[in-house]
Structure 1
């Protein structure tokens, strides 16, 4: 009897406890769906969808360290006929893209900072532009030297001997179909007037490589009216009229009396013609008048191997760019496993140029001269591991003016670069 009473009591307790628990049951909320970062393979490697959008974003860049050298006529602080230094650069590329009813909408920005032998640490915007379909607006390499249309100018080495290579504000439109592309654009020439520089470019790309032809109109700044406004008078030498082209004390360029300049450029790039993983390229230009699109820097210093530092009887060393009436060059690049090498050469002639030079009898006078220019570059690279590589470059430049003599220079660098 006692056992029966205990069983009934236990059953009653369990029933009351389970009823209380049922009354106090907690309802768990459904977890919110997670919006994980997804890979975007529409535009190639490295793109991801920005969560909650259909915009794809790629973030990349590199960290680079160079040991640089530049030979005579650069002179270091100890009086030696060479300079040696070092530099590093950090570059960050941001690339956002999405598809619209008008084509691909893109925004690209490139930020970088360069430290050269302990100086120049400012962050700069190297490129920033937007694209919608074939329309491009923003700041980047001049259309004369950029890869708009599917082929990049230059002769395959790191110092690629590009003529008229600089960045500028611009707007252009590219039409592309079946391997052909045609680009027409305008650039701000920073003269303050309403007349921009005008560019046109035709490209054909195929399995063989690519070919292009470019043309540019430049309203130059070395005409009589502009120079007179700055107090820079024309000079007559041998029946020719010369005008200063940059600042007082700079060389003078032959001018035909108007301010219009035209230039043409063409190039051909051939893939795997001689061996697999090789590229052979030819490129040249002809300028009918002096223009910044036909200019190359003078000789280098280690502070920047692209800055001017020529001693060709120039009263202001470092301010002498070289204006080439025409130039032609060729380059070859070959990859062999983790190794790669490239070689490029270029030859051209300068416009008639007047230089201020000292006279044997004392005083100074302008002397008109025409010059020959040639340059060569050799690169040797090694891919140490994925995303980390080394590059050794040696380049040589020579300018020989018929009445002033010649100057030449060896320069180069050893580079280590980590891409990401």
Structure 2
């Protein structure tokens, strides 16, 4: 008997035995319902529901690469009168929102990393704040420079020519109705006393664009915060290099003896002014006393146009800042398909600034003077894809002090950026 015959016979015999039947079928359990991530259109594009909740989240950011150039008076390690550096920045935005009986509850965190030539690679919290209805508390752009509508308070270019642009801890409340909004808030001035800076901002937004008016009371103009390394932006006076004074107990910017300050700022922007996809903006400020809200970055280093970019010759970021008593400017941006063009200009007057240098009698000493400041910016951008673009920018800045003379600088960069 072959094995084949034996197997067939055994199978036939088993089939005749009582109770013989096929093996029970394996029954798979019913799958658990899956709560897939759903789009949340309540807050606009890019939001999704967190599974199992009524909260919506958005996650986005970008990676950019800049090649940065700064002309004289910047110098490099080889003694040339320019600096060329590169910078890589990555940014992640986390935005979580939900509706409550008291209004929208929101939390926002921005993580940012900027790797510059010869600098440490560190991640920082660029913004972090919470909102409930009209209440906002946290760390973000000061109300003085925060955006309105579709654009920032700068003049439509990447280098926005913003006066008083910095982040600070703050708490404020916004009342909104019929296109108008009024925000009042307090900002930590870093002095450690109980009195904060006080802000108020009135905004109107419409189909045609928007307008705003801001006011700030700076409880203490902190000269310590305003000081930086001198020697980075000398002026020539009678053939002698002359420097703004920045010594302990001898502030550079003169005032009337009161440390507090008050400033006003206003602007208007218009959409589709000349052609579709265009924006025009005009804005200006006036400061009754010197204040950090009336300051702009100084010349001489690449930090004059790129935030947190250190002087190659000095690890301290930035040049000596300039304090403008008043300034006015205008900017225009135009989109043409994948191409974008923007130009802006600004003119202002500095506060009395105290200098140390050669006096007309040949002796060295201190003297004060005011100066004129103006800047021009041009941008040219191109979108290769909806999420990948390049941007080229050139900036010219000049400050001219009456008794000393002027110094100017041309800066620029070429950028590639991938948004997600």
The separation in 2 between residues aligned to 1:259 and 1:302, in whole angstroms, is 31
Q: How far does residue 220 in structure 1 lie from its aligned partner after superposition?
A: 2.0
SS at match of 2:412: strand
Matching residue of 1:336: 336
Q: How far does residue 55 in structure 1 lie from its aligned partner after superposition?
A: 1.1
C-alpha deviations, 1:127-146, integer Å up to 9, x for none?
A: 00001111000000001000
Q: Which moved more, 1:143-152 or 1:42-51?
A: 143-152
Question: Which aligned pairs between 1:347-358 and structure 2 lie closer than 5 A?
Answer: 347-358=347-358
Matching residue of 2:60: 60
Matching residue of 1:147: 147
The separation in 2 between residues aligned to 1:295 and 1:405, in whole angstroms, is 20
Q: CA 1:29–1:213 in structure 2 vs 1: closer, same or farther (change >3 Å)? A: same
C-alpha deviations, 1:228-258, integer Å up to 9, x for none?
A: xxxxxxxxxxxxxxxx997528752222122
Matching residue of 2:274: 274
Q: How far does residue 187 in structure 1 lie from its aligned partner after superposition?
A: 0.1
SS at match of 2:16: helix
The separation in 2 between residues aligned to 1:112 and 1:318, in whole angstroms, is 19
TM-score (norm 2): 0.85
Pair 1:17-2:30 in alignment: no
Matching residue of 2:415: 415
Q: CA 1:198–1:151 in structure 2 vs 1: closer, same or farther (change >3 Å)? A: farther
On the 8 A contact 2:149/2:205 being kept in 1, the answer is no
Matching residue of 1:235: none
C-alpha deviations, 1:347-378, integer Å up to 9, x for none?
A: 00001111112457776311110000000000
Structure 1 residue runs without a partner (length 5+): 1-8, 224-243, 310-315
C-alpha deviations, 1:77-98, integer Å up to 9, x for none?
A: 1111111111110111111111
On the 8 A contact 1:149/1:174 being kept in 2, the answer is no
On the 8 A contact 1:107/1:130 being kept in 2, the answer is yes
The separation in 2 between residues aligned to 1:247 and 1:102, in whole angstroms, is 51
On the 8 A contact 1:298/1:307 being kept in 2, the answer is no
Question: Which aligned pairs between 1:33-52 and structure 2 lie closer than 5 A?
Answer: 33-52=33-52
Matching residue of 2:200: 200
TM-score (norm 1): 0.85
C-alpha deviations, 1:43-81, integer Å up to 9, x for none?
A: 111111111111111111000000110001101111111
On the 8 A contact 2:304/2:319 being kept in 1, the answer is no
The separation in 1 between residues aligned to 2:289 and 2:263, in whole angstroms, is 7
Q: How far does residue 151 in structure 1 lie from its aligned partner after superposition?
A: 6.0
Q: CA 1:403–1:12 in structure 2 vs 1: closer, same or farther (change >3 Å)? A: closer
On the 8 A contact 2:245/2:355 being kept in 1, the answer is no
Pair 1:115-2:115 in alignment: yes
Matching residue of 1:137: 137
The separation in 1 between residues aligned to 2:174 and 2:149, in whole angstroms, is 7
The separation in 1 between residues aligned to 2:350 and 2:163, in whole angstroms, is 12
Question: Which aligned pairs between 1:378-397 and structure 2 lie closer than 5 A?
Answer: 378-397=378-397
Pair 1:298-2:293 in alignment: no
Matching residue of 1:166: 166
Matching residue of 1:125: 125
The separation in 2 between residues aligned to 1:253 and 1:261, in whole angstroms, is 13
The separation in 1 between residues aligned to 2:393 and 2:151, in whole angstroms, is 23
The separation in 2 between residues aligned to 1:205 and 1:75, in whole angstroms, is 45
SS at match of 1:293: helix
The separation in 2 between residues aligned to 1:367 and 1:317, in whole angstroms, is 27
Aligned residues: 384
Q: How far does residue 304 in structure 1 lie from its aligned partner after superposition?
A: 6.5
Q: How far does residue 177 in structure 1 lie from its aligned partner after superposition?
A: 1.1
Q: CA 1:308–1:35 in structure 2 vs 1: closer, same or farther (change >3 Å)? A: closer
C-alpha deviations, 1:8-44, integer Å up to 9, x for none?
A: x9998387334x75xx565543221111111111111
Q: Which moved more, 1:113-122 or 1:245-254?
A: 245-254
On the 8 A contact 1:272/1:278 being kept in 2, the answer is yes
Q: How far does residue 320 in structure 1 lie from its aligned partner after superposition?
A: 1.7
The separation in 2 between residues aligned to 1:128 and 1:318, in whole angstroms, is 24
Q: CA 1:96–1:308 in structure 2 vs 1: closer, same or farther (change >3 Å)? A: closer
The separation in 1 between residues aligned to 2:331 and 2:54, in whole angstroms, is 41
Structure 2 residue runs without a partner (length 5+): 1-11, 224-243, 310-315
Matching residue of 1:226: none
